[in-house]
A and B are shown apart, each in its own frame.
Chain A
Amino acid sequence: MRFKKYNLVLVVIMMVYCVGCTDQGLFDEHYDTLSSGEVVDNNVMEKLSGVENCSNFYNALVTYKFDTLLTKNFPVTVFAPVNAEFDLANIAEEDHVRTLNNHILYGKFFTSDLTERKKMLSEKYLNFAGNGTDVLVDNSIHSIAEQSNIQGSNGIVHVVEDVVPYKKNVYQYLNANSEFFQRYFELQIDSVMDKDNSPWTGEFNEDGMKVYDTIWVERNHFLSDVVDLTNEQNEYTVIAANSEIFNSYFEENVVKYFGTMDAIPDATISSVMENVVGTSVFPEKYVYDELPDQLFSVLYTEVDIDKDAITDRDLELSNGVLHSTTALELDKSSFLTTNKIVFGTDVIKNRTVDVQVSDPNISLRWDVTKYLIYNTVKGDIGEWIQFPLNDMLKTTYDVYFGTGTSYGSQMVQMSFHRVDEEGNVEETPFHTFEPYEGAKTVNEKHFGEVTFEAFGNYMIRFTYMEDPPSTPKSYSMRMKTLKLIPQE
């Protein structure tokens, strides 16, 4: 009997030890303590379908096939406007998709996580101010506290009391509201080689270098080099005239020199508009009430702000704010420039000579002697030499001419020529003069004024009007500078 008792003891002890084969769920106790009780099995689309007062929005999502996006396994946060405020019919059709996109955000964000600017699927950044129970979207639209933080397996739904409007950013706005900006921005786009992505053709050139199929990519120099007004993360303040004032001002102050808008050369547009940007676009967002007296523009120019001239204030854009002003002042110096020719090239008769139009402020060097017309002999009457004058504005210029030491005493006629589109040459005699004045230098001398009737390219021509005297045998006119200064 004793043997059996002992056996029993052994068995009991072994059994106690074998309890060790089961797990105790220690971790479960520690790690599963979240007591929300919420079912998060359904995805966001399914969750949305269950929200009764957002059926319009839900149906719009279905219509535009957002269901793939909102059922896939990538986190989203959706701001669903209530039916009362959301009707696709009230939204321009072209804005349908981008408006829907403006209600969706990648990532799971509960109201307490929504405390800063975030990028919507529309590529627009919106401001959020979450306080735990609800959230203020875009500084204006509240979520409904009871219908916030609806948790789906792949995201969160917040019901909001209004539609979150799709807004243009500063770039888009300016582009759409001013043909000057539009043309300016277009001019900034060019193609650059994308060396990294250009594939090798597999061939070598004669130097043994690899030959690539160049890939060209479009680049907006303004956005990438000057200021990226499309950057939705930054914010800007624009103080600009509204398009009406802007256009009429430009008509009066710019276009008149060129005849038509189209005639204005690209370079002029660029320099003028750079000037405009430099006085009207400012980093950081200042609503009217916060506007200081002075601001540094995105081009680092210091601008005095005339708050009184601002008529329409605080137009909210997606990355900034726009104020309309009547004060518009343009520095015409960017296109109203002196044309100056510095003669510097050896010259052969009866030919058009390319000369460089150089900066009028550079002083001439006297020690360099340049004969432009030389060794003329009898029978040369009517011979001429001409120089191009490019981009002459439709305005009146004062003409200054200077010569160096010259020989001979023939009369020389100065005239302006214009070749029109049909190839007709229109000649406007301007001034006849005798360059020889006792072999001495004649500094810039006012020759009078000339008015161009149209914007365009001209020639200035010097023509011998009479034979030279018998002595000296050789004649020469040494030309130095020619300046055309707009009268304004």
Chain B
Amino acid sequence: MKLYNKTILMIALLIAGAIGNAMAQEALKSYSGKVFSSSTMQPLAEVEVVCVDKQGVSTHAKTNEEGEFTVECSSERVRLEFKYPGYITEVAFAKSGQKVSILLNLDHGNVGRDKYVGPATDAKVDEATFAKSVVKTVDQPIVAESVDDYLKAVSGMYTVKRSGLPGEGSDMVIRGMNSIHALQKPLVVVDGVVLGNYSFDYDAIPGNDYFRLAGINPNDIREITVLKDKAAAAIYGMQGSNGVILINTNQVEGGKTSINFKGSTGVSWNDERIPVMNAQQHKEYVLHQLFGQGYDADQINNEYPFLGNEAQAGEYPSYEQDTDWQDEIFKGSLQTDAHVGLKGGDQAAKFYAGVGLTSNNGTLDHSTMSRLTTQLNTQVNITSKLSIDVNLGFGNTTNKLTESGTNYVGNPIFAALTKTPMQGIYQALGNNEFNQVYEDQDAFAMSNPIVLVNDIEAKRKSYFLTGGFNFGYKFTPSLKLSVLVGTELNQTDETYFRPNYGVGVLPSDEAESVVSKSEQKYRAIYNENKLTFSKYLSNNQHIDLVAGTRLRTSEVELGAQSGLNTPIDDAITLSDTDDDTRRKDGYWEYYNHFSTYLYGSYDIAKKIFISGAVSVDSSSPIGELADGQEVGNTIVGIFPTLSLGYDLARESFINGDNTWFNKCLFRFSTGKSGNDQFGNYIAKDYYTASQYWSISGLARGGIMNNHIKWEDVYSWNLGLDLSLFRNAVKLNVNYFENTTKDMLVQSTLPDFYGYESVLVNDGEMETTGFEVDLDWQVIRGKDFNWNTRGTLSYSKSEITSLGANKIVELEGGNKIHKQGEAPGMFYGYKTKGVYQSSAQAEQIGLTDQFGNAFQAGDIIFADLDNNKVIDENDRTVIGNPMPDFFGSWINQFNYKRWSLYTQVNFVEGNDLYNYARNQMESFDGYANQSTAALSAWKKEGDVTSTPRVVYGDPMKNARFSDRWIENGSYIRLQNVTLSYRFNPQSSWLNSAEIFATGKNLYTWHEYLGYSPEFATGEGYETRGADYFKAPVSPTVLVGVKLGL
């Protein structure tokens, strides 16, 4: 601890000295000190020390075996940079004659930090005045499947895992909702290349979402920066208003060639079960429904002889099973991941190459993801001034999927929950003997769920390539030009075949078997040119200036075909389908975006910060007559931003010898960003090919609005970064307010247009919120460290101008956009329990819109307009799918070579629509139901919250109401990782670590579905609606990390 104290003291003295002395001397000054490793508290040798004087001239030196260094520089005050492979580069300001002690933090086998991350964060200042979160993958020793796994601990970013299907990724929203009709996905930048904000929204395999970032191996990622502050994102102009995720892959470092291997394997299981009726209970339930419809015993004996009173034991073995279908479709599954990273090089050329292989199986049987990724990063210094960086990442992912969504004959989970347990998987012969042939659809036309996982062909192949060439030319040490030419290529091919045998048929559906196929492609060329000027001035002032242009031309293409009814189930191609049922779909759209930007930042001794930027953007979706500046013949948007910072702790009157008050940075930023992600053709008049069965023709593709423009998001952010007790406690607080103006809303059209509505820029929305990040080094000792980090985020959106309320249909329910409320609120009926008795029903005296009176056992719907009729006018806002609060709590313990990492995530205040429960408590047919059916109202005086069981649900007790809206709050033990680092005494093995990690081990929640964490689709439309998604499941993995 003595050493530790000494270090802090030294740093404090150093800073105090640096601020006190303004004038520099011209003679060479000597700077010396010692460098330690924070993990071992031992001196570090061979650390590269760079001393940069106020003219920007640098001198290099290295530490000796004792960790000591001496470096000479011409100015009185200098900036010292300490670089060492595997450690995070530290920067300190020093005054001549003082000894400096530096603790270098381990980067767990990774590399330094000084890297291009895009203009807004290209400043050399460590503390940007914008609100952002930087996630270093080393800080989260987890086995991530894709990049989103690292983002769960980012404050202000609501990251929701879509499902337990491997590779389906997450739905991500940064700082709440800012739009209704434009995309709400954050912009993603990978190694400087801005990715397109498109969606592959055609589902050849119904109900599955494609997550392209699963094509990037998380092991190749070093750092992710999330620009939450919309003002910070303003530099991305028209594309920045949803926030920006900057992904940096592993960096070239040079030095001795080293190989890092990380491999893990483990199992995942789903032991969550929704309680459903067993065979006997379901039999009684079906009989109730049949008798309730007026069937008599003879009719039952005729139509459903296995249920009849004449059925003898053993007579209908196919219906004498008792199958737990959930047990049958959810299986323990294997997960393996292996990754090799190779790096090395010298001053002339450095490289990093990563190859990863992932094979993850979902707990839903036969759902798999296998992925091959490669990442190649090189830096070649052609001359001392000219360099080329090449970063290329490629991922090839193959998913075996199943159908998702609301089709009970296709979705195996839906089928498993509603399929009768009376039947078994295989054809039963009686006496517990079975044919090894699956049972066909049952007497209730329900599918065999096992056929839906085993005999369905649902494959997605995707190819994702991103990267570019970055040419850098240093005119002077301060002035640099860089030219980035990059690309994004993305293709997914889906094939789907659903057989006839074993699969139910929807009423009025002609589909017996289904074949579907799609190809979706995205191609983009990206170019960014920028001139950077970065210089330390006298008095420790630093200035950064960036001027640049950014151009993206892209196209997205779909080709899809489907057909029905192949003659036999062995014929699974489109050419086998019935000619009359074959349909084709496709489009080919273009999107271009051009931006010119300027950025400047200035700081005085890291105490006062000023930065500003302006971006001038144009893009192809913008209408010709849009309200904006006209440059040439193009309408452009201008997006300015300004930020200010002041670090109180740098003031000499506070600083002095004070070692506990290390940082107190007040930040303010304000700016404007935009969103042009609303489809490419709203401002165009166009026709589209349309098919009516086998007849093709042309149809108008919507009503043109050539006034359409981007949405403007005005925002400001007030922040405080506090660092106390020798940096042991770091607290970041942000408060923000975003106002969307010219928000797209649907304007209703008169009938003669043939279209109901057209999008116009006529709405407003406000989002406010705050975020708190705490990072506390509770114990920092020689042998034992305990670090705890917590985040808490809050945001609230409100539509402030909309015009008429807009009711949105969603499967099985409604949402509403309403002025004064958050967007996309659940909109339905309110309920007050169940009528216990006829007297009560009579007394309340409500009827439905057809005049049928509600009876005992029906749901008491709230009659909001007091007209005694329950109809559409009694609907109201019943829930908000967005949370009030969410956050994370991470604890990291290190004891000697052991370390334990735990991550808890929580979400509070969101409402979920449990569509699955709605389907399983609707009591309207023969499908199996949850055990709620057992406690349904049966007779006069029963006190229950579950309404009576009536075939067809004549009073629509199961209508979309608050019965199905549930509290989605949860606390989840997201990750636990225990690892042990060896100290190999070997010439070839540099490092070795074994670890065991658990994911999603336990979730505390009140939600009655499998898991409160799921996402369907994108945007507000389906957010919070649970359509029988495969649940996120617990996983336990063991693995090894080796450094050669």
Contacts and interface: CB of A to CB of B under 8 A. Distances in A.
Interface in A265-314: none
A111 B940 contact: yes
A366 interface: no
Contact of B856 (A24, A73, A132): A132
A166 B944 CA distance: 38
5 contacts: A13-B902, A31-B932, A31-B934, A34-B943, A36-B942
B755 interface: no
A222 to B, nearest CB: 22
Contacts of B948: 112
Contacts of B634: none
A289 B811 CA distance: 53
Interface residues of A, number: 40
A8 B1001 CA distance: 22
Contacts of A110: 938-940
B1001 A116 contact: no
B561 interface: no
Nearest to A132: B838
B891 interface: yes
Nearest to B943: A35
A2 B939 contact: no
Interface of B: 274-275, 280, 284, 287-288, 290-292, 294, 296-297, 300, 308-309, 779, 781, 783-784, 786, 837-839, 855-857, 891, 893, 895, 900, 902, 930-932, 934-946, 948, 973, 976, 1001-1006, 1008
B932 A30 contact: yes
A44 B336 CA distance: 58
A20 B1008 contact: no
A64 interface: no
A420 interface: no
A33 interface: yes
Nearest to A21: B1002
A424 B944 CA distance: 90
B1002 A74 contact: no
A209 interface: no
Contacts of A109: 291
A32 interface: yes
A131 B300 CA distance: 27
A106 B297 contact: yes
A33 B309 contact: no
A31 B288 contact: no
Contact of B287 (A9, A36, A107, A133): A107
A10 B893 CA distance: 8
A13 B1006 CA distance: 23
Given A27-B1008, A132-B940, A149-B940, A17 B976 contact: yes
A116 B294 contact: yes
Contacts of B784: 2-3, 6
B893 A112 contact: no
A364 interface: no
A73 B932 CA distance: 22
A119 B856 contact: no
A6 B784 CA distance: 8
A26 interface: yes
Contacts of B936: 34
Given A27-B1008, A107-B292, 15 more contacts: A6-B786, A17-B902, A27-B931, A31-B935, A36-B941, A36-B942, A73-B280, A74-B297, A75-B291, A108-B287, A112-B856, A116-B294, A118-B296, A119-B296, A132-B839
A107 B299 CA distance: 13
Interface string A36-75: 1000000000000000000000000000000000001111
B931 A31 contact: yes
Contacts of B855: 112
A13 B891 CA distance: 10
A204 to B, nearest CB: 33
A34 B940 contact: no
A149 B1006 contact: no
Interface string A90-120: 0000000000000000111111110010110
A20 B275 contact: no
A108 B891 contact: no
Contact of B288 (A35, A73, A74, A75): A75
B932 A75 contact: no
Contacts of B837: 132
Contact of B973 (A17, A74, A132): A17
Given A3-B783, A106-B296, A149 B939 contact: yes
Nearest to B287: A75
A420 B292 CA distance: 65
A112 B842 CA distance: 14
Nearest to B895: A6
Contacts of B309: 72, 74, 106
Interface in A128-159: 131-133, 149, 151
Contact of B284 (A10, A26, A75, A132): A75
B291 A107 contact: yes
A-B pairs with lowest CB-CB distance, top 7: A20-B1002, A107-B291, A132-B838, A34-B935, A110-B939, A106-B297, A132-B940
A3 B297 CA distance: 75
Nearest to B779: A6
A33 B292 contact: no
Contacts of B288: 75, 107-108
B275 to A, nearest CB: 5
A36 B1006 CA distance: 25
Contacts of B274: 27
Given A21-B1002, A75-B291, A132-B856, A34 B946 contact: yes
B643 to A, nearest CB: 39
Contacts of B296: 106, 118-119
B511 to A, nearest CB: 31
Nearest to B944: A34
A72 B943 CA distance: 29
Interface in A420-452: none
A460 to B, nearest CB: 57
B931 to A, nearest CB: 5
Contacts of B783: 3
A192 to B, nearest CB: 21
Contacts of A113: 292
A106 B931 contact: no
A119 B839 CA distance: 28
Contacts of A9: 786, 893
B280 to A, nearest CB: 8
Contact of B275 (A24, A27, A35): A27
A30 B1008 contact: yes
A111 B837 CA distance: 12
Contacts of B976: 17
A110 B941 CA distance: 12
B973 A20 contact: yes
A17 B1002 contact: yes
Contacts of B932: 30-31
A6 B1006 CA distance: 33
B895 A31 contact: no
Contacts of A32: 934-935
Nearest to B297: A106
A6, A34, A118 — most chain B CB neighbours (10 Å): A34
A358 B934 CA distance: 72
Contacts of B857: 112
A132 B837 CA distance: 7
Nearest to B940: A132
A26 B1008 contact: yes
Nearest to A149: B939
Contacts of A27: 274-275, 930-931, 1008
Contact of A106 (B291, B934, B1008): B291
B946 A33 contact: yes
A17 B838 CA distance: 49
Contacts of B934: 31-32, 34
Nearest to B1003: A20
Given A3-B783, A20-B973, A26-B1006, A35 B940 contact: no
Contacts of B1008: 26-27, 30
